[in-house]
Amino acid sequence: HLRASFPLPKSAFSRMDDDSDREFYQEPRMEQHFGDSARDQLKRVYASVLPIGADVHLDLCSSFDSHLPAEYAPREVVGHGMNKDELESNPRLTRSFVLDLNETPTLPLDDSSVGCIA
């Protein structure tokens, strides 16, 4: 089970700059943003908490690579991200959409249509 409260203070999520994310992500960035060890650890955490038999999974803030464990196999993985080329390069995604959540904080998905978000 996941914790009811998140262990980081609000200040941990402060923006470092107010520049538009759309401009930053305009060009594809096919690069890992953290190391192999951290990615492997994240996959292990996901493997321990993601539901077996999930129907639809939303890969929030996705890119060219998902951090989902290989054995995790929902019927559909919907990717959200900021660059269309990156999302189209991700082999785990069955469909995707580009959306700047800072500008539009509402997902273009039907209520209750997603069973898991990571």
Residue 46's pLDDT is what? 92
- Torsion over CA: 94, 47, 12, 66 (sign): negative
Q: How far, rounded to the nearest angstrom, does the alpha carbon of residue 94 sit from its chain's CA centroid?
A: 14
| pLDDT at residue 57 tops 90 | yes
Residue 6's pLDDT is what? 67
Domain span at 87: 55-103
pTM of the model: 0.83
**Is residue 70 a part of any domain in this protein?**
yes
**Is residue 64 a part of any domain in this protein?**
yes
**Is residue 31 a part of any domain in this protein?**
no
**Is residue 9 a part of any domain in this protein?**
no
